[in-house]
Amino acid sequence: MLYNGRPTKDLNYYWVQVGYGNGGMMRTIFHFYIQPKTFEVFYVDLATSRGGLGVLSLNKWRQLRNTPGWNKAHYYEYGKLVVDRGE
């Protein structure tokens, strides 16, 4: 785990990265935000194809990562995962 940043006026979360390393290099697998007042954890989906980052509750992330579109180019609309068809 790598601590990547504390809350600022632009981003009101702690930012941590989780991955694995070999002593000389870390390969990040997941990014998370932690809300400092409640310590609620959010998954940060950096792989969205449009609309910026997808910041998801852990429950929503656990649900969506098992859907067929998760490993394809995607974005979020009204809290739902939408597969980007390149239109």
pLDDT tens digit sequence for 21-57 = 887 888 888 999 999 999 999 999 988 877 767 899 9
Q: Binning pLDDT at 50, 70 and 90, where does residue 1 land? A: low
pTM, full prediction: 0.82
List the chain domain ranges: 2-83
Q: At CB < 8 A and 24+ separation, what contacts does 59-65 make?
A: none
